[in-house]
Amino acid sequence: MPAPVPVTMSGGGPVKWQPEPHRLDPRATAPSDVYLIGHFGLATVDAAGWSLRVDGLVDTALDLDPDALRALPQTTVTTLLECFGNPLDPDVPVRRAANVTWRGAPVAEILRAAGVHAGATSLWATGLDSGEFGGVACTEYRKDVPLDVALARGIVAHEIDGVPLSAERGYPARLVVPGYFGTNNVKWLRALTVSDRRPEHLFTTRLYLRTVPGADGPQPVRDLDVNSLVTVPSDGARVGADVEVAGWAWSAVPVVAVEVAVDGEWAPAEVERRRGPHVTWQRFRTVRRAGPGGHTLAVRATDRDGRVQPVDGARNAAHHVTVDVR
């Protein structure tokens, strides 16, 4: 095993930050507007001694330093990053999302170099951050994803939007699995372990679980829900009688319909087709007429699988904003 890597944790516990929704109006989220999450705080890694360990059910264990990681074939992926929310209070909407571009080595290329054993089904991703969450002390952050999904679309990213990852974004490297919630996109990545089972860990088998219809027991939080966000107008805005309502909708599969409500009266909005092969958000827009005074606007999306955002009571409940019509 490689020598321990010096890591400094800051924040004194969980770190959460997100911009106001109106700042997310551009298709490409500005780096300064990408939300921040750190379950134990934010880690600063001394990359001088860092390498990515690849082990488990492989023919050859690897230790890839930054140069070796960049020497592998590289890919660039634009995709939606979304926080599932607080796993201790999972039904509270948080609306943390961003549309960003990553660059790095495909997981398939890394594991091709290592050689995967027959019968392997799971890829464990271990981060260098550590601390306490929900009263439980952890020596590392760990998640697992199905091996076939990791091979099909996972990358180990070292750049975001054309620049090297910063400390708060997961420097020196992070796992990115397009279409999966951010909790699976492990920052400050230290190891990828190929296995034939799921790991026991706070963030795999105790938290980030939910009931899925037809499934045998609680399932890990992975595929994105259908969701949407109003970016125009901003909450509390003063507007004219013809109210333009616009924003973004997304899901693990393409969104096929969006509705906008004024004071509970729903009507269809225009929604663009999904762009590119990966999950990205889709623009919606409509103009609704409203009389003078205060009004509540809401948006809900429907995806290709027929999933519809609930109006309330769920992490992906319809987004509401208020406006004052002059």
Mean pLDDT value across residues 293-307: 98
Q: What is the pLDDT of residues 51-94, one digit of tens each?
A: 999 999 999 999 999 999 999 999 999 999 999 999 999 999 99
- Where does the pLDDT of residue 112 fall: very low under 50, low under 70, confident under 90, or very high at 90 and above? very high
DSSP per residue, 256-275: EEEEEEETTEEEEEEEPPPP
H/E segment holding residue 182: none
Per-residue pLDDT for 261 more than 90?
yes
Domain boundaries, the chain: 7-220, 227-325
The alpha carbon of 161 is separated from its chain's Cα centroid by a whole number of angstroms, namely 15
The answer to whether the beta carbons of residues 245 and 285 sit under 8 Å apart is: yes
Q: How far apart are CA 178 and CA 239, in angstroms?
A: 37
Assign a CATH topology to domain 227-325.
Immunoglobulin-like (2.60.40)
154 by DSSP, 3-state: which? Answer: coil
pLDDT at 47: 87
CA neighbours within 13 Å on the CB side: how many for 58? Answer: 22
pLDDT at 72: 98
Count the Cβ atoms, other than its own, within 10 Å of residue 107. Answer: 25
Per-residue pLDDT for 3 more than 80?
no
CATH 3.90.420.10 fits 7-220, yes or no: yes
Residue in this structure with the two tokens 């990359």, named with its chain if needed: 47
Q: What is the pLDDT of residues 214-259, one digit of tens each?
A: 888 899 999 999 999 999 999 999 999 999 999 999 999 999 999 9
Environment class of 236 (CB within 10 Å of its CB; exposed 0-12, middle 13-18, buried 19+): exposed
- Where does the pLDDT of residue 212 fall: very low under 50, low under 70, confident under 90, or very high at 90 and above? confident
pLDDT at 2: 57
